[in-house]
């Protein structure tokens, strides 16, 4: 098959090549080498290191993929102190209610009937970085007789999404120092802070009170707040401090049954009793009904103090 190629003969052109080779100065070859342009060197480098380069690309792709892959991690949100006490133990209840910190955190009280005994179950949520405080409170509670099932549980949640997304679904804290801010700057700051946390369409009105204090009214669209979440905003303005808290909680099946068949007045009385907040009156509680769905809103402004407390609860 290859006889044809084998028969070819180019010996007659050897003399031409010989002349060329003899005329080819070694300095010319060196010159050619020196004149190699940078991209030729690059090309040769890529060719000779193609495997390394290919592996580098694969590694880079892996790193990018690994970075963008959703990961799960335990995130500490704070601590929960929980305890139970018999409702009839008035002495212990008085001691608990007289504690200064009892109204500062997020306190949830559930009433349970166990074998005819009314048991109050307390859950106090403390923000993260207050673990030492939680330990101190546990010691104080531990000293009160009649308190049982006292425990401090770290509030962890498995996070598989970006942290900001996580915050949107829970209560987030906003602190604004408005001391040297104009009204417009304050409006912009509040709007941007709320928007950052997923609450849009907020209307803000700021006016000056008789005593020179600035009064800010924030109108938040009903649909902006998640079913399970809200925000806790503190605005510091000179020596005054204003706190606005908007929390929404979806009730359990058990809680829903408690409201079933109850009139608005009955629900209000129940809430006042359960919240055990002397500052809350019936006219502060707003109840809306949509079929079986009961929506409860409590607007509580503590007179005489610089704090305004709002609580919104939704029970299904």
Partner 1 sequence: MKNNKDIFIELLRPEYSDALKYCKALCSKRSAEDAQDVLQQSFLKALENFDSLSDKSKFKSWFFKIITREFYNLIRNDFWKKFLPVGNPKSNNEFPNVYSRQDENGTGMLLRKALSVISNEERSAILLFEIGGFSIEEIRNIQNEKSLSSIKSRLSRARKKMKDFIEKEEENLNKQILNKTINIGDINNETIRLLPETDGK
The first and second tokens of residue 235, run together, are 């605005």
C-beta of 8 vs 253, nearer to partner 1: 8
Strands 171-177 and 106-114: unpaired
- Measured between alpha carbons, how far is 256 from 188 in angstroms, rounded to an integer? 39
Give whichever of 36 and 175 is closer to partner 1, judged by the CB atom: 36
Please name the residue that has the structure tokens 């407390």.
309
Q: Residue 295 pairs with which residues in a beta bridge?
A: 288, 314
Encoding tokens for residue 33?
């080498």
Q: Considering beta carbons, is residue 57 or 164 the nearer one to partner 1?
A: 57
Q: Which two tokens stand for residue 315?
A: 């029970």
CB of 31 to partner 1, least distance (A): 8
CB of 56 to partner 1, least distance (A): 19
Structure tokens that stand for 15 in this block = 């003399």
- Smallest distance from partner 1 to CB 128, Å: 53
Q: How far is the CB of 13 from partner 1 (least distance, A)?
A: 4
Q: How does strand 148-159 pair with strand 117-127?
A: unpaired
Q: Which is nearer to partner 1, 3 or 283 (CB)?
A: 3
Q: Is the dihedral of CA 105, 111, 112, 113 positive or negative?
A: positive
Give the residues lining the site for partner 1 (CB under 8 A).
1-2, 4-6, 8-14, 16-26, 28-29, 32-33, 35-36, 39-40, 43, 47
- Give the nearest distance from C-beta 61 to partner 1 in angstroms: 21
Torsion of CA 124, 130, 136, 141, to 10 degrees: 0
Using the minimum distance from each CB to partner 1, give the nearer residue, 43 or 75.
43
Helix (H) or strand (E) holding 255, with range, is helix 253-259
Q: Which is nearer to partner 1, 13 or 303 (CB)?
A: 13
To partner 1, the closest distance from the beta carbon of 53 in angstroms equals 14
Residues 151/82, Cβ–Cβ less than 8 Å: yes
Cβ proximity to partner 1: between 37 and 151 the closer is 37
Tell me the closest approach of the beta carbon of residue 48 to partner 1, in angstroms. Answer: 11
Phi, psi of 276 (to 5 degrees): 55, 35
């Amino acid at each position: 098959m290859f006889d044809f190629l084998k028969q070819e003969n180019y010996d007659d052109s050897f003399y031409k090549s010989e002349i060329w080779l003899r005329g080819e100065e070694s300095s010319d070859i060196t010159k050619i080498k020196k004149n190699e342009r940078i991209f030729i060197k690059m090309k040769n480098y890529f060719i000779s290191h193609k495997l390394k380069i290919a592996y580098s690309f694969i590694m880079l792709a892996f790193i990018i993929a690994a970075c963008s892959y959703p990961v799960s991690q335990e995130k500490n949100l704070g601590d929960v102190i929980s305890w139970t006490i018999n409702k009839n133990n008035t002495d212990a209840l008085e001691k608990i209610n007289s504690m200064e910190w009892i109204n500062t955190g997020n306190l949830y009280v559930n009433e349970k009937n166990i074998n005819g005994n009314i048991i109050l179950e307390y859950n106090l949520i403390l923000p993260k970085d207050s673990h030492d405080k939680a330990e101190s409170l546990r010691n104080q509670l531990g000293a009160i007789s009649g308190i049982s099932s006292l425990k401090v549980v770290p509030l962890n949640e498995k996070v598989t999404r970006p942290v900001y997304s996580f915050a949107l679904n829970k209560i987030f804290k906003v602190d604004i120092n408005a001391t040297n801010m104009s009204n417009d700057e304050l409006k912009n700051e509040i709007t941007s802070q709320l928007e950052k946390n997923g609450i849009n369409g907020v209307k803000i009105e700021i006016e000056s009170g008789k005593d020179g204090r600035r009064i800010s009214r924030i109108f938040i669209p009903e649909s902006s707040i998640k079913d399970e979440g809200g925000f806790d905003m503190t605005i510091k303005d000179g020596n005054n401090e204003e706190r606005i808290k908007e929390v929404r909680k979806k009730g359990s099946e058990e809680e829903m049954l408690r409201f079933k068949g109850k009139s608005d007045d009955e629900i209000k009385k129940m809430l006042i009793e359960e919240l055990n907040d002397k500052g809350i009156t019936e006219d502060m509680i707003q109840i809306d009904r949509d079929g079986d769905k009961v929506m409860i809103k409590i607007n509580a402004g503590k007179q005489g103090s610089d704090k305004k407390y709002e609580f919104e609860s939704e029970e299904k």
